Structure 1
């Protein structure tokens, strides 16, 4: 079983020269984008290019190795949605990202058309937040994704820090209640500022997110690092597990702090993340 992906790299669907390069970027997943990255007059071209590359990849030796490959289709109310969905059904995509997810009925229809695909609904509107519970409970939804930039535009919010804290936490809570994988945070618009990207990733991790969208290969390594346990965290977790085992379940302290069942569970989670599970 694959580990939960940390970095999801968008690749413009009408630029096939970037597809294989994206697979070599170190991203845990690449998302072939038929929506925002493709101009309206090149939608058909993008769909054709994505379909051809997916078909070639499926027939190549070891075609399923490497990162998870998903497709972001156009929203349900657009004229390109049906054709995008038909392409994904024909290509047998592993994951489909739906923008402007607001209606669980749309997700149910997509699940019926693509019974083997994981669904990644993008929450990027006020209505999407309002319908979080129903969206998270829809068939085949694997994890929620926060489209933070579009969300700011929809609600006329200025700022991407504390201004979005409430909504990020709601997405984390809805994911946990529905038994989904930890959600994916939105993009960092900075490309050449690793410190900013690292800070964004670490904040998302502290809030309970499990991954982050990337818009450039330069962001991938920093995002992966931000969602991976540090050497100090791994060392702490190993010492907690060892102390708990040595005590036979009796009360014990590590670094002057009491170790109880929740602390042991947290340590186990750190070690699982470090092992890539």
Structure 2
């Protein structure tokens, strides 16, 4: 994970234009203008107009409605007219992705939101399709579709598979799903830490209060940075020979891990 990669993705209802600039100012690395779940059917048209009229739309991601929904065609007409080039597709499955791409008139960075059991079963074909830049986990909808109630770590096997398939396809580290509570920073921090440990590189946020915690949690700790620097110094001092640090052998995987940690903050 590079420090240049986005770690926090903040949803904003697309029918609340007064919040758009506030979301940008929150410190979120990416702002997602949401046309889907956050917007009632009666407000969809107004939400599209708000996206179209916002001067910052070129730097935002737009989550459109599902490819099988009655709102999708109008969403894509707005996307083309507004020149939006960064999209999030809910309930991503191969057919939905193909319909999305077929509705575009130019290159677009697509985040595929995995929210269904069918999408999970097709992870490999989605990841290797050449159509998506990144995967994200829609844990709430996935729990409903799968019948699994997530009270703790019940969906972590799904998370791990999304991480592995992202790696196999050469995609950026995936984005973990939302945590609905922001009033308990300890519980939220634990959820973010677990996502990072599983190999995620970012997290979806639903409230500005979550942004700072996410941005900090996906960075290496002071102890990790100290360890990585000592590993690199020991390896350099060994001149290519096997060396030990803290009673442990330093080999190629250890050096690679240290390089990744230092690379995540742009260190050399």
TM-score in terms of structure 2 length:
0.94
* Structure 1 residue matching 2:100: 3-state secondary structure: helix
Q: How does 1:147-226 map to 2 (within 5 A)?
A: 147-226=138-217
Aligned counterparts of 1:224 and 1:232: Cα–Cα separation in 2? 18
2:47 aligned with 1:57: no
Q: Can you give the 5+ residue segments of structure 2 that lack an aligned partner in the other structure?
A: none
Q: Is the 8 A contact 1:107 1:139 kept in 2?
A: no
Describe the SS at the equivalent of 2:148.
coil
RMSD over equivalenced CA pairs, Å: 1.8
Q: TM-score normalized by structure 1?
A: 0.91
Map 1:1-277 → 2, pairs under 5 A: 3-53=4-54, 56-57=55-56, 68-102=59-93, 104-112=94-102, 113=104, 115-275=106-266
Gaps of 5+ in 1: 59-63
Q: Supply the distance in 2 between the matched residues of 1:4 and 1:110 (Cα, whole angstroms).
A: 25
Q: How far apart are 1:276 and its partner, in Å?
A: 8.5
Aligned residue pairs total: 266
Name the SS for the 1:145 alignment partner: strand
* Ranges of 4+ aligned residues in structure 1 off by more than 3 Å: none
Deviation at 1:89, TM superposition (A): 2.3
What secondary structure does 1:119 align onto? strand
Q: Aligned-pair distance for 1:52?
A: 0.6
State how far apart, in whole Å, the 1-side matches of 2:226 and 2:131 are: 36
Deviation at 1:114, TM superposition (A): 5.0
**1:274 counterpart SS class:** coil
Tell me if the contact between 1:35 and 1:73 (Cα under 8 Å) persists in the aligned partners. Answer: yes
Quote the offset at 1:25 in angstroms: 0.6
